[in-house]
């Protein structure tokens, strides 16, 4: 492993210790939820397993396809889906989400490759 691994996030320590604010432009998260859990989930549609949040905007996607866009300042309960009305914002956030997912996948692949090489080298010693 590299001596100083690259992290794709920001430290929350200043926020958690009340010593400062956390500054970031866009926040992503992804959930791995099985279809069984989706079926039992009480949250009304749209169901999503990927989210991009930038300022007041929250984009929800299901396996890379956008299913919801919300203006959280005007609609904190996420009742008005603006996906078709705000197409430019939807596409911008979707592009950012896809780029983030590619970066994450690349990091996982590199880590997996490193682990395989390390294990193979250890076994041959």
Question: What does the pLDDT look like over 75-121, one tens digit per residue?
Answer: 999 999 999 999 999 999 999 999 988 887 776 666 555 555 555 44
Q: What is the pLDDT of residue 69?
A: 96
Position 53 scores a pLDDT of 92
**Nearest alpha-carbon partner for 21 in 29, 10, 33:** 10
The domains located in the chain, with CATH, are: 26-124 (3.30.1120.10)
Predicted TM-score (pTM) of the model is: 0.68
Q: What is the predicted pLDDT for the residue at 103?
A: 82
Q: How far is Cα 18 from Cα 38, in angstroms, rounded to an integer?
A: 36
pLDDT at 120: 46
> Residue 80 CB: number of other CB atoms within 10 A?
12
Characterize 23-54 residue by residue with b for buried, 16 or more Cβ atoms within 10 angstroms of its Cβ, and e for exposed.
eeeeebeeeeeeeeeeeeeeeeeebbbbbbbb
The residues near 71 (Cβ < 8 Å, ≥ 6 apart) are: 56, 57, 80, 82
pLDDT in tens, 36-59: 555 555 555 667 788 999 999 999
| pLDDT band at 125; cut points 50, 70, 90 | very low
């Amino acid at each position: 492993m590299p001596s100083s691994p690259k992290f794709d996030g920001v430290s929350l320590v200043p926020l958690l210790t009340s010593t400062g604010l956390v500054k970031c432009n866009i926040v992503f998260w992804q959930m791995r939820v099985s279809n069984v859990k989706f079926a039992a989930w009480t949250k009304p549609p749209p169901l999503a397993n990927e989210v991009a949040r930038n300022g007041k905007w929250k984009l929800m996607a299901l396996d890379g396809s956008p299913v919801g866009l919300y203006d959280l300042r005007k609609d904190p309960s996420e009742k008005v889906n603006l996906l078709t009305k705000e197409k430019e914002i939807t596409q911008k956030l979707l592009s950012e989400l896809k780029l983030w997912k590619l970066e994450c996948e690349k990091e996982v692949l590199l880590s997996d490759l490193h682990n395989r090489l390390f294990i193979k080298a250890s076994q041959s010693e």
